A and B are shown apart, each in its own frame.
Chain A
């Protein structure tokens, strides 16, 4: 127990010293990132040297026809060496999308990778935020692998060209649909309706006035009822009954209810009407009409 306690600080000390001594770490040096516009010379365009400890502060702008080139020399510890894995890893932190582009590495550790927008996944083209560009260097054995952000890449699109989109079918909830109902039937304002009802209603008094102007009267009513009181009363009554039947049909009755009643009223009107109209004919023959 005491021994263990005594050796612990020593072990810690030894482990702190260890990376310097044996287990080296992968890294890189002489790194540059360049963006070369299409058709421009080799050294024109954007060029910046990269540090393995700190990412560039400004995002690298990468437009439609540009070529992005990253050149670096991989190192194990401080000696240049070829690793098993040397990737430029592009990663979007929001969607979690990642893709790696392997460097072409020579024996002496000199590595380069070139990239155009055509090689990017379509999903990257529609991102608004810059994506994270990392360098990943690793190999077998005990050397510690390197994975760190070196710059951020802002993918610029020509606004005239639409961003290609990809729609992959996935099971999930679909947008809600609410049926849009046709508009309900509406009526004009009641005031206007009432004005027209008044106009229509006024036609009856106007008609009556015109008839009176032309000399219409009911002067024969007493003589008619005196000579044939029953036929006239029943005939007129049956006519009014007809309208009453129609009113009931309009409000509550159905066809089978009105038909027998209407037939009865019709028969009554026929019989009483022939008598009543006979009396009217008698008045005409007497020269009274």
Chain B
């Protein structure tokens, strides 16, 4: 009986662990409850991963993202409303406030109807741009589903994306084909480093307003891989905002659909896995970094005593060791963080500007964390320095560590003695010859007898 209880507690703990790293309260904003049933697989998947789902209509009076000035929910999933806007509780300002208070948001768009100007202005705040008339749909005559969109070519079939760059971790990759019906494309501003495309349209794709007959060349604003199907914003506080161009891709229908590309085979879609990856990433189940112990000390052979760890003061030209422990959250547990491919975790030793910027190498690992360390000589400049680890990468939460230490110069008794400096021997010899000369002079002055003939001369 007792071990039954223990087992139950263990299971409960595991259930509690199988959660996002930043809370489980998820608010789904959708127009009417009839719509809710067409996404039932998504809801059950989310509930299975430990989220407490609340459903609200944007028109609802009770809907508020905040209670007593704090977030009332941890995550937000907004489905495109049929009405003009998202209502008074979800103005762009409220949504940005939610983001600023570390809330994560998935915003789904749909190319079926034109996007409301409220959403468009919210996205503009984040430097994500919709097409000018807000009702464009991505068309690709090469990668479409011949079964469901043989005529209109507006169901895109795409591979799951690989890593964005060689130095970025892939969170959305995998085998299989995604079906994305009626995608509302986004373009990203090029100046922001907070933006990252998750899924781009193929090079032959273009966007056009289906209400128009034939697009004139001037109507085509952007084409090919400049069009984003799914894009992500990670704010400076690591809160995440994902824009999904096609809300229909989350429907039960497309979770279990089979699709056929032109000249291709009939294959089942992997929308369900992708939805897990996408919501998992946005709601901080993946790509979350945590810093454990940070240790720095003078380089010594063997163990470092506890009192010698993290000293407040170093001397210039000290051989110093820096260790940082980093863990990554993957769905339900912390694992050792591995720096992706070409990337490097870097340590800066800075006073105003970095004097050293060195790659930290993995040296040891525990079950839940990896320890990265490096060894360097403190610069020959005294002052207030800091050990800084500023690791900001697309799709990973930010690490910003700053540990201040004083670097003093040599104390008077730490310099080499003058006799150890061969160039100083001449001066030392001069000093002692003066002393010898003085003593000889004293002896001569005390005991010298005048010479006979000289004494006569002077008299």
A residues lining the B interface (CB < 8 Å) = 82, 84-85, 87, 89, 91, 96-104, 113, 136, 138-142, 144-145, 147, 168-179, 181-182, 185-188, 190, 193-194, 196-197, 200-201, 203-204, 207-208, 211, 215-221, 224, 232, 236, 239-240, 243, 246, 276, 280, 288-289
Q: Which residues of B contact A145 (CB under 8 A)?
A: 141-142, 204, 262
Tell yes or no: B289 within 8 A of A by CB: no
B13 to chain A, nearest CB (A): 35
A-B contact pairs, 14 of them (CB 8 A): A85-B204, A97-B225, A100-B203, A104-B217, A138-B142, A140-B151, A172-B393, A173-B344, A176-B359, A181-B380, A182-B380, A188-B423, A207-B440, A216-B448
Q: A98-B224, A100-B224, A172-B165 are in contact. Are A232 and B446 (CB under 8 A)?
A: yes
The interface-forming segment of B26-34, B169-177, B429-437 is B429-437
User: A204 touching B214 by the CB < 8 A rule?
Assistant: no
A101 vs B206: C-alpha distance in the bound complex, in angstroms?
11
Q: A96-B225, A99-B224 are in contact. Are A187 and B423 (CB under 8 A)?
A: yes
CB neighbors of A among B394-431 (8 A): 394, 421-426, 429-430
- Nearest A residue to B349 via CB reads A179
User: A215 touching B451 by the CB < 8 A rule?
Assistant: yes
Q: Which residues of A contact B216 (CB under 8 A)?
A: 104
Chain B 346-390, CB-CB to A under 8 Å as 1, else 0, gives 101100001111110000000000000000010110000000000
A232 vs B443: C-alpha distance in the bound complex, in angstroms?
10
User: B448 touching A219 by the CB < 8 A rule?
Assistant: yes
Q: Which residues of A contact B436 (CB under 8 A)?
A: 204
- Nearest A residue to B167 via CB reads A172
- Nearest B residue to A279 via CB reads B446
Q: A85-B139, A218-B443 are in contact. Are A203 and B433 (CB under 8 A)?
A: yes
User: B344 touching A102 by the CB < 8 A rule?
Assistant: no
Q: A85-B206, A203-B433 are in contact. Are A170 and B141 (CB under 8 A)?
A: no
User: B380 touching A215 by the CB < 8 A rule?
Assistant: no
Tell yes or no: B301 within 8 A of A by CB: no
User: B446 touching A139 by the CB < 8 A rule?
Assistant: no
Tell yes or no: B220 within 8 A of A by CB: yes
Tell yes or no: B135 within 8 A of A by CB: no
Q: Which residues of A contact B217 (CB under 8 A)?
A: 101-104, 113
Chain B 325-346, CB-CB to A under 8 Å as 1, else 0, gives 0000000000000000011101
A37 vs B89: C-alpha distance in the bound complex, in angstroms?
59
B111 to chain A, nearest CB (A): 15
Q: A188-B423, A218-B448 are in contact. List 10 more A-B contacts (CB 8 A).
A: A89-B224, A99-B226, A102-B217, A179-B379, A187-B422, A200-B430, A219-B449, A236-B443, A240-B439, A280-B446
User: B426 touching A218 by the CB < 8 A rule?
Assistant: no
User: B191 touching A204 by the CB < 8 A rule?
Assistant: no
User: B423 touching A171 by the CB < 8 A rule?
Assistant: no
Q: Which residues of A contact B356 (CB under 8 A)?
A: 177-179
Q: Which residues of B contact A185 (CB under 8 A)?
A: 421
A216 vs B444: C-alpha distance in the bound complex, in angstroms?
7
User: B446 touching A276 by the CB < 8 A rule?
Assistant: yes
User: A197 touching B426 by the CB < 8 A rule?
Assistant: yes
User: A99 touching B193 by the CB < 8 A rule?
Assistant: no
B319 to chain A, nearest CB (A): 13
| 6 A-B pairs with the lowest CB-CB distances in the bound complex, closest first | A138-B141, A187-B423, A145-B141, A219-B449, A215-B451, A100-B223
Tell yes or no: B264 within 8 A of A by CB: no
A232 vs B447: C-alpha distance in the bound complex, in angstroms?
10
A219 vs B452: C-alpha distance in the bound complex, in angstroms?
12
User: B449 touching A89 by the CB < 8 A rule?
Assistant: no
Q: Which residues of A contact B392 (CB under 8 A)?
A: 171
Q: Which residues of A contact B226 (CB under 8 A)?
A: 99
Q: A87-B206, A188-B423, A197-B429 are in contact. Are A139 and B141 (CB under 8 A)?
A: yes
